[in-house]
Each structure stands twice: as structure tokens, then as C-alpha cells.
Chain A
Amino acid sequence: MSRTATETVDTITASPSVKRASLIGARIPKLDAPDKATGLTRYLDDIKLPRMLYGKILFAHRPHAHILSIDTSAAVTMKGVRAVITADDIDLVPFGFGRDNTALKKDKITCVRDELAAVAADTPEIAAEAIKRIRVSYEDLPVVGTVEQAIAAGAPVIHEKTPDNQPFHFDYEHGDIDLGIRASDVIVEDTYNLQRQTHCCMGTAGIIAQFDAQGILTLHSLTQVPSLYKHDLSRIINVPPQDIRVIQPPIGGAFGSKLDIHPFEPICVFLARATSRPVKLTFTREEEFMATPTRQPMMIHLRSGAQKDGTFTFRDVRMTLDNGGRTSWGATTPWISMRTFSSLYRVPHVRQHVDVIYTNNIYACAFRGYGNPQATFALESQIDVLAEKLGMDPLTLRLKNAQQPGETTGQGMVLRTCGLADCLKTATKHAGWDVKRSPPGKQKTGRVRGLGMASMFHVGGGAKIHRSDGCGTMLRIDDFGVATVQTGSSEIGQGSETVIAQIVAEELGLDIGKVRVLNSNSDYKPWDVGVHASRTTFIAGNSALRAAREARGKILDAAADHLNLDSVDLDLYGGQVIKRSTGEPLVTIDKIIRGMHFGRKNDMIMTTDFYEPPSEIPDEHSKGDISACYAFGTHVAEVEVDLETGVVKVLGISAAHDVGRVINQLGIEGQLEGGIAQGIGYALTEEVKVENGRVLNLTFTDYKIPTSCEVPELKMVFLETNDPAGPFGAKGMAEAPLVPVAPAIANAVYNATGVRINELPLTPERVLRRIQESRDSESE
């Protein structure tokens, strides 16, 4: 059984004069859970519109080639086929972060998942058969399967406009590296290799597109970012954004995968346009493995130094990204990696250089943690190496350099609250760090145990990368005392709907069942930048709270009027206006509202709010206070390693997170448990294997995500630092729990075996090989 505790640090909540049960911090089941438990929830795949057709895509299935011709005649003439399209039938508008992608490809194939043609047909079977009948003639080109091949002299050029195959370089610096090097007593350096992990949303990707007679396009879309999506998609499909309606049905998992526009989305729109009928396009699992982007693979070369007393001096980072054949958001993940290198611990001199390299491999997009798991793996692994060189305990070294509240990091991020030191102390205490941990032994056979730790740093109050990082709310309370909250935020399974309902219910003294959250249709949804950067609780929560606070004021004023009392003496609780001093119920809220509505006032309670966090867009040197607050956490992993097979078993994880304030205990535990499971998968088994551009594992049998049998013992502690900017003090923490898992495990494997492994996943074969290599080098 998992153990959880919430520890409060520096509580600053003003206590109401009468003690009463609060919804904040309670264990509130998700509001949509009963429908999900009974199978009533209609996911995208469950929606069938009248006269709907089924779309299917022809993928290239070869990594690098010229397209000589595409013959669709045998598909077009099939009974039940309503449209077949190729690049010749559409406007080829470049899109994606590198503007190097188009919905369908003309002339050139740069990776196996390139989309060549698409079909809309009466049934999925006919569509699949039609795809098989399309004949493409290719001229295969030499495959650039690795970064080394891509930068070698005379390498085949993948995109003509980038003759050196190096589309982007990013640089960051604070302080002066040379000073840092000179100030160091100890310097260590290593290269870390991080693999492709894929989201494995249980519901596969898909979309439904439908035009109405006025040319309005309705999309049932899984996007996590509806407002930006409309804007960006509009260009590609040549439909004005105001003519696009986005309906977001419940979603079978996202984890970042629905942040970008993927080619299948405009393709489906083109099919709907070609047929004048609704078209649904969904992926099979095999397509999902091959044709959805992954976590960005990275090679990180890291050098860092410290003084004898453990004070960190500098950190020099070179990252190489295998960008694949096209560019999605993966290329930008180093912008987040950089924050960990610069700001998880105090370090005066930091430099990061990034080379993004085209290959003929599949490409990457956003994935929970966004470049941070990779950076944290490198950094936290290397800190343990430094600790050993310095002869210090890894905990002591981290505590010595931990950021403190009130500091501004080298990258300009202002840590108004910061629980890192407490996280370090708490997680290690719960894991029994002092009593259980001993240096690696000399055992050669059987199984050995070890403990390892890692911390993390992530934005907790949004990330201002667009000119606005805000979110809107429209709130109304009806005659029956039911509050309807239209929020800009989206529910992707993470429970944001419930958190917003809780915040509003708390502020208005309503039963949570009396709050409805509407968030799935762009016709009424206020603007929001989207679900990413762990921002929803913080930003949408703040917006909802402010709208509710205004509504609360209006109710209290009306009640004061009605009761002939001063509004400061009143409060709202349990659906009633109560006397603040005694808690005595005076009149129900709905009665007050009906009184406003039908009485002389002729008014209703409707409020709106747009919350823009007090963060800033980083300057041209990537510096600035990008988020309204920052989240910290520490994990300690205990592992058992079989020295003769290389099997690593995670026995337990103790996690402590600075979450500001817990809003929904059940929800936050769920985020942590789920994030840890994904982190264990990243650490031990998950890798999309790509060889010479081809994806080798396209099933759950060969791409292994954790199952119910791999749940370790978890101890979770949520440290409440009560962030002054957060709703009720809360920070975001959706991405945080995944981030430190892999390095904590790798450090534990080192502690158990004395063997350091700088690449993931820690598969039995890799672990055994490293153990043997280290023995061979010892005996030499």
C-alpha cells in the first residue's frame, strides 16, 4: 500500500473565524469518473456522425527516397471509395516548428512515416484495401540513419534548404565558463545517451472533420491547445480561423502528444472537403507506434566542476539532437533542458550549445517533461560522480548547492518559494538513506541492492513562450444555485475539470455537485494557451478563482442588502449565506439569486476573468522569469540488481514534491503515481527502436510499458510551500513526477553494483554487459 503524507512548510493561510470543512486538499473523485466507469463516456473513436466516411493514410514505409509517381487509379475505382488524395490535390503549406513538413509529401520522402496519399471510404476495411492498391514508384536514396552519418563529409542532403543537415543551433550562457573551470578543484565529464520514448496513449490518435453548408469546419479533435490549433491549422487548410469550430471529446491520454498539429489532421480536413461528408480518421496501434512522434532522443555531453567543499563552479553542456526527417516540437526541448542545467542547483557559470541534426529517422514532439527528463538524467547522474570524487555524500552535496527561497537563478528565474532542500531531506528520510545505504560491495553473483536519488526543477506556474500565457473564465450562477464555469483549459484525463470545480465550489460555498465545468467547444470556450507546461491548475485555477471571487462578492452584497447586514459579516458555505462569526445559516444562495433576478434588481450573477500570470517572456538570451512559480521534487529509488542477468527491479520510490498546496489529494497522488510509472518505463524498458530509419517495435509486446506487476512501493510526501501567486497556494506538478525517476534509478544501480550506466533504458542485457565490461577493465 502506498503511504502519503502532506507536510506543511511555512503555512500562511488565513483561517476563517469558524472552522469548517474545506474542499481544498480533500480527496475528491473526478467528476467524470462515473461515466468513464460505466462505459458511457464517448471518446473520439466512439463517435459516429451521419454519413460519416473513414479515412486512411498511405505512409512511405521507406526512410529516404524520391517519389517518382503515385498511381491511385486502382483505388479510385473501388466500390465504396469516395476520395483519394495526394500532394497534387492540396495546397502544400509548410508547417511545424521548422516549416519543413506538409500534410502530404511531394517529390521527397525523408522518413518512414511520411504521408503520401489518403483515402476516404464507406468503411475502414474498404479504405484499408484501397490504400493497398495505390502504386508508388520510388527512387531510394542512401539512408542517413544516425547523427554521425548526417554530419559526415559528403552526407546525403535530407532537405535541400539545409545542405549541412543542421537546421538549428541554440546557445545559452550565464557567467563565464573559463572562470568556473579555473575555480574548480574537481572536474568530471561524460556523455549521456537518451532514447526515444513514446506516449502510448491508450486511445490512439484521431480526428473527425466536417464542413457545414456555410463552410464552417467542425473538428472533433484531440488537441491539447485548441486556441493555437485553430490559428495554426487555418493556414494549412486555408479556412479562416473564425470558421473553425473545435470540439474536444474526452481523450484517451495525451502526455504532450497532442500539442502539435500532426499531418493526419489537415489530411482529414482535405478528405472532408473532397467528399463534402464527415470523415473520421483514427490510427491503428501499429500506426500509432510508427507515425506519432516520440520523446526527443538526445546525446548530452556534460562537463561540470566543484570546489573541494562541494560548491558547484560550472557546467558546460553540449547536446546533439537526432531531429529525424521533419521538425516538430522535439527540436525545442533543449530550451527546457537548459533550465535544469542552469537552475536546479546554484551554479555561477553555465554554457549550453545545442546542435539539431536532420536524419532519416522518425521525429519527436512534446512529451511530459519536455527535455527535462533527459537533462535531469545527465545532471543528476553526474552530481553523484562529483560527490564520489569529492568524497561527499550525494545528499550533502545536493543540499550544499540547493536553490533557496528568494533567490534568482542564473537564468533569471525568481524562486519566490522553493522547497528543494526540504524535498531532499524529506525524501531521503522516508527512504532510510542514512541507515540503508552503503557503498557498492564486491559481490559477483546473486542479487544486490542499492539506493539512489535525484531531484528535479520544472515550471509550476505556466511558461511564457507566447505573448500571452493566460486563460479565461466565464462563470454564471443560475436561479437554482448551480454554477457553470466555462474555462479555457482542457481536460486531458489529468483531472483539471475537477480541480476547477473544487476551487469554484470552495470560493462560492457550494457543494461540488453544484458546479459544472464546460471546456470542450471552442464556440464558447474563452482563450487559453493550452494544456502544457504543467500550467492548468495554476493558471486556469487562478482565473476560475478570480471569477468565483467576483461572483462571491456580488452574492454577499445582494445578501447583505436582503438581510440588512454588513457583507463583511457574511460568508458562503454549504449553499447558504452564513453568519461569519457563528456559522449560522441565514438564507440559501439560490434564494438570493432569485431575489436579484426577479426582484427589483433584475440582475443575474455572471462574471468573467482573464488571468495573465506575472511571468515574462525570456529575452533573446533565454533569460527571464518565465513562470509565475517553480516546482521542485526529490525521488529516492531503491533497486535490486541481478548481477548474473542484469535485471533491475525497482523495489520502492520515496518522493517528496514541493507542490505549493494540494488542491485535490486524490488527483495529485494520481499524477505522481502515473508519472512515476512512466518514469520507470523510461528508465528500464521503453525504447522505440529505430534501425536505418525503420521502426522495429510496433506492438506492446515489443515496446514495453509497465504493467500492474511492476508497481513499486511508493512513499509520497507533498510539501506545501503555499506559493503566494498560486490558487490557494498551489503550483503545477503534472510533469514533475516523471522527471527524476530515471536518474534516481540509475544512481541506485550504481550504488548497488558500482557500475555507472549513462544510457537508457537499463535493459537487463545492457546492465549485464556494463557489469561485465567493468569487471574486465578492473582485471586488466
Chain B
Amino acid sequence: MQKANDKLCIEFEVNGEAVSISVSPSTSLLESLRDHLELTGTKYGCGDGECGACSIMLNGKIVNSCLVLAVECHGSKMTTIEGLANGKHLHPIQEAFVKNGAIQCGFCSPGMIMSAYALLDKNPAPCEAEVKRALEGNLCRCTGYRKIIDAVLSVAHGGSAHE
């Protein structure tokens, strides 16, 4: 880590790409992703760790990027919502969210999808209760969660959750 004035130069990997940015020590990872790297898929919903809109994978774990300082991430690996789709092909979780009607205003969707990704990464066949618990840190005001839960279950069970 190098010091540039009162800014620090840090390097990390996002969605498989190496990046280096210079940030002040008090910049959150969320701000860095959105402002410095223009990865605006990760959202600000509260800045307090309470809504999950800013969820990303950091070194293999789901975290609220609003609760992380950018300078803490020197040498880290991250995946954001922009890193899930493979070219033109949506990730199966994204596909399931679209197909199941799990997206309304869509503001919670990136964080929600990242949480689902983290869950399925660890537990490829969760039951409904496990899905609910995995998403409890992600608030959604539009959908009432039912279709989101169905979408995640549909990926877990390799088909459509809708009867």
C-alpha cells in the first residue's frame, strides 16, 4: 500500500480484473466501487449494514460493502453483481429472478442476488428456511419476498419453483 498525499493507493481484484485506485482512508468500499470503479450495480440503501443493497462477495464471503473501508481491501478478491453474468448469458440465479418475477423496482435485486449466490455457493441445496435466513439481511419493499425465495429455490432444485 502506498501513500499519495493523504490518499492511499490500493490494489485488488474485482470480477477477475486487477484494479488499482487511490482513496482516502475513510472511503467505504461501497463508495469506491460506485464512484471510482463505476460499478454502480452495487447500491446504497442505508449505509448502516441494515438493508443489504450493497452486498458483494469479498474474499469468498458475502459482506455489506458499506461497512468495509476500501483501504481494508488491499490484495482482496471481490465479485459484484456485474461479475455474475457470463458475457450475454445471465447467471442461473439472475435468470431465475427474472423468470420468477422476483424483481419489481429492482433496487434490492443486485444485493439479493449476491446473497443468494453466497448461499448457493456454500449450500447448493438449501431448504426454504435456509433460503429465508440467508436473505434476512436483504430488505425488499416491493415483492414481499415470496417470488425471491421461489427463485432461489428454483435454482437450488434445478427447475422452476412454481407449481
Which of B45, B53, B150 has the most chain A CB atoms closer than 10 A to its own CB? Answer: B45
Q: Is the CB of B106 within 8 A of A32?
A: yes
Which of B53, B95, B141 has the most chain A CB atoms closer than 10 A to its own CB? Answer: B141
Q: Is the CB of B45 within 8 A of A202?
A: yes
Residues of chain A within 8 A (CB-CB) of B47 are 284-285
Residues of chain A within 8 A (CB-CB) of B70 are none
Selected interface stretch from B4-12, B57-65, B97-105: B97-105
Residues of chain B within 8 A (CB-CB) of A389 are none
Q: Is the CB of A40 within 8 A of B41?
A: yes
Contact with A along B110-122 (1 / 0, CB 8 A): 1001000000000
Residues of chain B within 8 A (CB-CB) of A285 are 45-48, 51
Q: Is the CB of A34 within 8 A of B40?
A: no
Contact with A along B82-113 (1 / 0, CB 8 A): 10110000100011011111011111111001
> Of residues 705 to 720 in A, which have CB atoms within 8 Å of B's CB atoms?
705-709, 711, 714
Residues of chain A within 8 A (CB-CB) of B85 are 38
Chain B's interface: helix, strand, loop or mixed, by majority? loop
Residues of chain A within 8 A (CB-CB) of B146 are 2, 673, 711, 714
Residues of chain B within 8 A (CB-CB) of A43 are 40, 43, 107
Q: Is the CB of B48 within 8 A of A250?
A: no
Q: Is the CB of B107 within 8 A of A203?
A: yes
Chain A's interface: helix, strand, loop or mixed, by majority? loop
If A200-B141, A674-B142 touch, whether A36 touches B43 (CB-CB below 8 Å) is no
Q: Is the CB of B90 within 8 A of A38?
A: yes
Residues of chain B within 8 A (CB-CB) of A701 are 48, 50
Instruction: Return the contact of B138 from the options A255, A666, A708 (Cβ within 8 A).
Output: A708
Residues of chain A within 8 A (CB-CB) of B53 are 202
Closest chain-B Cβ to A645's Cβ sits at a distance in Å of 21
Q: Is the CB of B141 within 8 A of A39?
A: no
Q: Is the CB of A495 within 8 A of B106?
A: no
Closest chain-B Cβ to A79's Cβ sits at a distance in Å of 14
Closest chain-A Cβ to B31's Cβ sits at a distance in Å of 9
Q: Is the CB of A700 within 8 A of B48?
A: yes
Instruction: Return the contact of A1 from the options B94, B107, B163 (Cβ within 8 A).
Output: B163
Q: Is the CB of B43 within 8 A of A45?
A: yes
> Of residues 35 to 56 in A, which have CB atoms within 8 Å of B's CB atoms?
35-43, 45-46
CA distance A674 to B107 in the complex (A): 14
Q: Within 8 Å of chain A (Cβ to Cβ): is B22?
A: no
Q: Within 8 Å of chain A (Cβ to Cβ): is B72?
A: no
Q: Is the CB of A674 within 8 A of B101?
A: no
Residues of chain B within 8 A (CB-CB) of A3 are 163
Chain B, residue nearest A665 (CB): B101
Residues of chain A within 8 A (CB-CB) of B132 are 708-709, 711
Q: Is the CB of B142 within 8 A of A37?
A: no
Residues of chain B within 8 A (CB-CB) of A204 are 44-45
Closest chain-B Cβ to A681's Cβ sits at a distance in Å of 9
Q: Is the CB of B141 within 8 A of A37?
A: no
Q: Is the CB of B48 within 8 A of A493?
A: no
Contact with B along A238-258 (1 / 0, CB 8 A): 000000000000111111000
Q: Is the CB of B103 within 8 A of A673?
A: no
CA distance A476 to B44 in the complex (A): 38
Q: Within 8 Å of chain B (Cβ to Cβ): is A201?
A: yes
Q: Is the CB of B144 within 8 A of A676?
A: yes
Closest chain-A Cβ to B159's Cβ sits at a distance in Å of 13
Q: Is the CB of A39 within 8 A of B40?
A: yes
Chain A, residue nearest B103 (CB): A33
Closest chain-A Cβ to B120's Cβ sits at a distance in Å of 15
Q: Is the CB of A1 within 8 A of B106?
A: no
Q: Is the CB of A250 within 8 A of B101?
A: no
Q: Is the CB of B48 within 8 A of A699?
A: yes
Q: Is the CB of A42 within 8 A of B40?
A: yes
CA distance A35 to B163 in the complex (A): 26
Closest chain-B Cβ to A201's Cβ sits at a distance in Å of 6
CA distance A417 to B113 in the complex (A): 41
Residues of chain A within 8 A (CB-CB) of B34 are 46
Chain A, residue nearest B105 (CB): A493
Which of A1, A202, A494, A666 has the most chain B CB atoms closer than 10 A to its own CB? Answer: A202
Q: Which residues of A contact B (CB under 8 A)?
A: 1-3, 27, 29-30, 32-43, 45-46, 199-204, 250-255, 284-285, 492-495, 666-667, 669-670, 673-678, 699-701, 705-709, 711, 714
Beyond A494-B104, A708-B132, 13 extra complex contacts between A and B, CB < 8 Å = A37-B98, A37-B103, A42-B40, A43-B107, A45-B44, A46-B34, A202-B105, A250-B105, A253-B107, A666-B147, A670-B101, A673-B143, A707-B139
Q: Which residues of B contact A (CB under 8 A)?
A: 34, 39-48, 50-51, 53, 80-82, 84-85, 90, 94-95, 97-101, 103-110, 113, 131-133, 135-136, 138-150, 161-163
A sample of 9 inter-chain contacts (CB < 8 A) reads A2-B146, A254-B105, A285-B47, A670-B147, A678-B144, A707-B136, A708-B136, A708-B138, A708-B140
The 8 tightest CB contacts between A and B, nearest first, are A39-B41, A493-B105, A36-B106, A252-B107, A677-B144, A673-B144, A39-B81, A46-B40
